Structure 1
Amino acid sequence: MIARVQDGTLLAARVLLAAALLPTGIARALNVSGFALTLAGSGMPAPNGVATAAVVVQVFGPLALILGVLPRLTGLALAAFAAVTAFVLHPFWHFVGPAAVAERTLMLADLGLAGGFLIYALMGPGAWSWQGWRAGVPAPAPSAKATAGKASAKGNAARGGGKRPTGRAPARAAA
């Protein structure tokens, strides 16, 4: 039960983190040249290359995040992207008054996202992800019948019935 809650929470966290980048990434993908012009206006070197790289990260990164594909690489790449974005796009030290407060707030929000992506890189995506699916479905909990069989085997061993040989359990016919 607790594992399901944890996996569900990790899925919700992945979706919420992706929601912070994916809409902007899609909007920028629909107008890469406009985004490149904005970057050029701010003095960014090689604005076309930077705009293309940013769109790739902002679209495919959140999709990989939601699906749980390559969590360490995805988490670290998105954390680096969010941290660089924070300092490049929100230099609050160049502003005064309310504009400085707004830019500082946006910078701290981007740094908070970077922290969330780092936690994802360390924790992993959980069982409800591509990685969890590839690792296999966890074994179901033992049933009452299997538990009773183990208890009787332990009782036989205690009465001098001996230990079972290690290795594969013998196949039994279905009752």
Structure 2
Amino acid sequence: MSSEPEYTDRSAALLALYDRVLPDVYGYLRSRCGSATLAEDLTAETFLAAVVAVRSGRDLTPGWLVTVARNKLVDHWRREAREQRSLRLVEPPPEQDDPWDAQLDVLRARGVLERLGPHHRAALTLRYVDDLPVPEVARLLGRTLHATEALIVRARAAFRSAYEEGSSDD
């Protein structure tokens, strides 16, 4: 019975951390996945992982929770990519030589990003929104460095093509 007060203390600490960090975790996910429902589901998964971690005696930090949230989002993108691959075979778009530094309309860019395949969306979000170095993107996506570099090139080309296609509709 001597472990019960310790368990109660850890539970109270988790509840306090939940109250403090929930808006940050949800906001992080919401801004990256484009869907409130998906962000809510991934936030719930993140805090369920926190409960498991607390039960195993781990001390939690806000940074740890955001990392878990990022991993949950990457896992979601991987599942989505696997599902899409099983439905159809996708040819990568031809590479284009135009520069990446074009001025982008933020709302239209987000819309284009949401329409991309999950593997492209994951690569671009981790690399350019989260500003992670390519080796870290490769680690999170479970790919080699060279495969990730190629994926980012294809994702940028797909984004550019979809973005320019949208500008001709304006």
TM-score category by the smaller chain?
A: under 0.3
Higher relative contact order structure (alpha carbons within 8 Å, sequence separation ≥ 6)? 1
- Structure 1 length-normalised TM: 0.27
- Structure 2 length-normalised TM: 0.27
